[in-house]
Amino acid sequence: MSATHSKTAFLYGQVRRALQSGRYVPGQRIDPGALAAQFNTSTMPVRFALYRLVGEGMINDQARDGLHVPLPTEAALRDLYGWMERLLLMACDSGIAPMAPEPERLELASADDDLVKRTWQLFDAIARATLQRSLHRAVKQANDQLAPIRRAKSGLIDNPFDELSALNRHWQRRDIPALRSALRDYHERRKQLVPCIVLLFNERSAQLH
């Protein structure tokens, strides 16, 4: 593996985790030069890493305006929630593959847990258990695209800990009918909040400029 490829892979992982953790918020510009200085490298591996994330839908290339964390429109956000919902329901319909390993238990201790991270892990586990690589890959990509949105909108959803705990409980019990119903309700609540979420993002984005 070349030094550039190795550095690109490292930077890709660092920026991807930063996006998931809320280090960058929807609408925020990502400066390749600043990242190169931060990691003491040239801009070439930084740009390779960032454009890999562009290809995965986690970053937008706005040409003259540079690279930004996507700032979704109402239509785009509804589509993204709908797409994640359909993927997870497909996973439920597919069921757990006979050869799938026993999934790790997702323990939710309290409302202080990182619920965004736990949500990513739960949805990933549901898709991974099908052993359908294309489905798992699609869920992973949608999960990654939604992670910054989930973190930035925290506070808009009532009782998110109880909501996620119920989803996890259905999954651990393998109560697929209950899980399907809860997943529909989970995404319906977010679709109803789309105007509020987008307004919040636009207001925060305006403060960045």
Mean pLDDT of the chain: 89
166 with 80, same domain: the answer is yes
CATH number of the domain that 57 lies in?
A: 1.10.10.10
Alpha-carbon span 185 to 106, nearest angstrom: 21
pLDDT of residue 155: 79
Domain stop point among 44, 70, 96: 70
- Answer yes or no: are the C-beta atoms of 36 and 46 closer than 8 Å: yes
| 208 domain residue, yes or no | no
Q: Which of 5-9, 19-23, 112-116 has the lowest mean pLDDT?
A: 112-116
Which CATH number does the domain housing residue 128 bear?
1.20.120
Residues 86 and 130 in one domain: yes
Same domain? 163 vs 176: yes
pTM of the prediction? 0.86
Three state DSSP letters for 144-196: HHHHHHHHHCCCCCCCHHHHHHHHHHHHHHCCHHHHHHHHHHHHHHHHHCHHH
Same domain membership, residue 107 and residue 58: no
Q: Which pLDDT does position 104 carry in this prediction?
A: 65
Looking at residues 55-59, what average pLDDT do you find?
91
63 and 89 both lie in a single domain: no
Range of the domain at 118: 74-203
pLDDT of residue 97: 80
Q: Is residue 169 part of a domain?
A: yes
* Residue 124: per-residue pLDDT: 95
Task: Among 70, 88, 110, identify where a domain stops.
Answer: 70
Domain tally for the chain? 2
Instruction: List CB contacts of 14: < 8 A, sequence separation 6 or more.
Output: 39
Residues 130-176: pLDDT tens digits? 999 999 999 999 999 998 888 887 778 888 899 999 999 999 999 99
Same domain, 59 and 136: no
- What is residue 151's predicted lDDT score, i.e. its pLDDT? 85
